[in-house]
Amino acid sequence: MDSNGQPLNRTCQKVLTFALFQLGLSAVLFTYIRISGKPDPGSPVSVMLYQPKQLEMSLPVDKRSSNLTILLWTWPFGTPFAIERCSQALGIPNCDITANRSWYQKADAVIVHHQDVCGSPERLPQEPRPPFQRWIWFNMESPSATPNLSFMDKRFNLTMTYRRDSDIFSPYGMMEVLPHPQNITIPPKSKLVAWVVSNWDSGSQRVKYYEELRKYLQVDVYGKYHLPLLDNKLLSTLSQYKFYLSFENAIHKDYITEKVWRNAFNSWAVPVVLGPPRKNYENYMPPDSFIHVNDFPSAQELAKFLLELDRNTTRYQSYFHWRSWLKLIGQFTWPQHFCKACWELQKKPLRYQTLPALSKWFK
């Protein structure tokens, strides 16, 4: 950074880094486990996640010493926030995040949030792109809520979404293996089932399932047209319940949102999930940490099972055993998402790629 707090010119460093990378490429290939395996213990944001399943082959990590500058083309949903230094947000050095478009020609990467530009291609950057700059398509919504994807074809170099097959994997939440098992105390519960819903669509699968479920047990529904609930009372209210209906508004691969990570897990309620198949959830969390509606032939059978758990304390508490060896990593803030992008760029080799059919990939 210069004396005015602005990023320094890094052309020379980039050339040197690229040359070093070419030498490393010819020397060695090594195996590592990416987001689903053993992390680099020296990495400030690496975590050993729950699911050590898939090995990947990768080129050597590109160790950059110079700063990277990432430009946010828009504030997400038009709402500004305080930009933390990545060294403070996630312990990542050499990363500068800015929303000042005057840095467009010097930024190493531009993050474009789909929901803020999808109305027209003219909302995308119109100036010629510097040859070293990468455009990152950022989207946390499901395909069902992602309009005008064709605008994005042949424009972007990298994807950044909740999907595990994204170039930059940015999930709604995750779990970290604890260095040592810990004792846990389950908060007392006085109520049975809760659901918070803001988008009430009577024709949706989740509302239809709820309508059937409530015939057999009491479900307290909060949100628009239902019981009032202030944001600052969310967790304290939901923590009174044994179960929470983590029903997604659309069913897509890897679309597992704050309905599980914040509303259920953070309030110590057992999530009852409606979304992608059970196996998909098990990529993110232990199989005995949640209840999937697909495990039951009907809503009536699910209701019967929840009532049985309500009466059987030992069996109910088994849904919390994972907490003795896993730590919940809650929802990420916007700065954490963007700093994670910078960290991934630091790791990735300097190579060119483009996404000719992003609209076909994200569906």
Decide if 64 contacts 13 (C-beta within 8 A).
yes
The alpha carbon of residue 202 and the mean position of all alpha carbons in its chain are separated, in whole angstroms, by 28
| Residues catalogued as catalytic | 141
The alpha carbon of residue 25 and the mean position of all alpha carbons in its chain are separated, in whole angstroms, by 31
Decide if 362 contacts 158 (C-beta within 8 A).
no
Widest distance between CA atoms in the chain:
68
d(CA 201, CA 206): 9
Strand partners, 193: 219, 243
Give the C-alpha distances (Å, rounded to integers) separating 73 from 21, 89, 112, 338.
29, 20, 5, 12
**DSSP code of 66?**
S
Please report where in the chains the tokens 């519960």 appear, as a residue.
189
**Where are the extended beta strands (E) located within 128-259?**
134-139, 158-161, 168-169, 174-177, 191-196, 219-222, 241-247
d(CA 238, CA 290): 16
